Amino acid sequence: MARVSVSQARRSQSRAAASESRSTAAGQSTNSKHVVPIFTDEAIKRVWQVIKQHNITVVDLKFNDLPGLWQHFSIPVEEVAQSAKEGIWVDGIGFDGSSIRGFQKIQESDMNLYPDPSTAVLDPVCEAPTLSMICDIFDPLTKEAYSRDPRYIAKKAEAYLKKTGIADTSYWGPEPEFFIFDDIRFDSTENSGYYFIDSIEGEWNSGRDEKPNLGYKPRFKEGYFPVPPHDALQDIRSVIMAKARAAGVPVEKHHHEVATAGQCEIDMRYSTLTKMADHLLTLKYVIKNVAHKYNKVATYMPKPLFGDNGSGMHTHQSLAKAGNNLFFDKNGYASISQMCKWYIGGLIKHAPSILAFAAPTTNSYKRLVPGYEAPVNLAYSARNRSAICRIPVYVNYPKSKRVEFRAPDPSCNPYISFAAMLMAGLDGIQNRIDPGDPVDENIYEMSSDKAPKQVPGSLEESLNALERDHEYLLKGNVFTKDVIEVWLEYKRQEIEKVRLRPHPYEFYLYFDV
């Protein structure tokens, strides 16, 4: 794909803008109008240090579509100029925005990518020595950042946080769960519809003739977390951890999860919002590719198995100012501050609309049902995993205090999902939203008249909630109306595609009517 050329006037304007801009840690500059970035020679020098260190021959440029899947294309290393005044650092790279989900219409398809030098790492899975860089998206005509670029939404959320004066940093620690299967087949045609999943770990294979069958199949809901040979995926996860850490992802631990048939979790040390979203997409990329090389397949689908736990992504979050955790108060309930309670109040109030982004598939709501550790209850508590907001109490020192929002799942786009949660929490602080009293008993065992309200039961309900309740997202121009409208339109199409097709179980229920 060819680079988009620019005029000398454009170059001059860009250099002039640099003097009015502030530098970021990446050595990249942006001004208040979010025009195309201005890179420093120091930032480009760091990129070339990685190139020389690893004898790079290919440069892979990655960016995010609206639903959350990484897209990419590759260029020869010779196309990467060594000066910030040349090549892709000034011109950007052109691509067809109309071919990317949730982006442009065909009559306005041309878009530009600008690599972020701070993300330059040796690609952890490619055989050819490949440099990986994450890109930001800009409009080639206005030279402004693209409103539907998920990474831009995340950056705007961080900027808005600072502008409020409430805090200067938000920290994020998602816990993405996933399955590694040995076989997956599915199809949906005019005259058929089915899926078939298999796993060497699947309890249903305890009687299969495997010549020999060596047993040790984790029983349903008993995968958390016996040692090998019950856990057949220990070595794969260790390879994933090593490759992810080599690519700069701060993996803290890995383990088997509750479900049979290869459910796993790999956790990362907390980081700032945009950086953590970068890490999460890198981690997902590594997991999928390492599984593929072992002739297995990884999926972040929230509920692939009937009758066992689905995959969530409990998301830990906190606010800090001048290095101090604003969520800590040694005298508060579970050592949380009043500000933290208001933040929780915002999360609980806006949870239905947050889930339009954080649990964004029809399949998500097959996970969000009582009985599978699913956090469907709009309440908060210390230790209680039946509440949507949990206050971890493993340790009790100031920097560790945080709230865990348990409803998201790993099918979400983390840039958008984290941004929506932050905006909801800030709205709670700004409006002093009271989350009520904590609930420290098993909510599933409470009588219906005392139990808290629950999250939406379908994607359609969450999208309707987003349509009604999104003003808090528009503050600071973090989310724009076109993002909300396109998201609603795109996701409602998915609902119709599922609704119109006969379900296999309907044949069991109704074929003999």
Q: Which residues are catalytically annotated?
A: 96, 175, 177, 257, 265, 314, 385, 404, 406
Q: List beta partners, residue 297.
A: 181
- Inter-residue contact 391 to 317 (CB < 8 Å): no
Q: What is the CA radius of gyration of the chain?
A: 24
Calpha distance 419→312 (Å, rounded):
18
- State how far Cα 171 lies from the chain centre: 14
Binning the chain into helix, strand and coil, the percentages to the nearest 5 are 35, 25, 40
Quote the tokens at residue 451: 């139990």
CB atoms under 10 Å from CB of 52, counted, come to 9
**What's the half-sphere exposure (Cβ side, CA atoms, 13 Å) at 203?**
14
Element containing residue 415 per DSSP (H, E): helix 414-430
- SS3 at position 253: strand
- State how far Cα 262 lies from the chain centre: 21
DSSP letter for each residue of 36-80: SPEE-HHHHHHHHHHHHHTT--EEEEEEE-SSS-EEEEEEEGGGS
β-pair type (130-138, 58-64): parallel
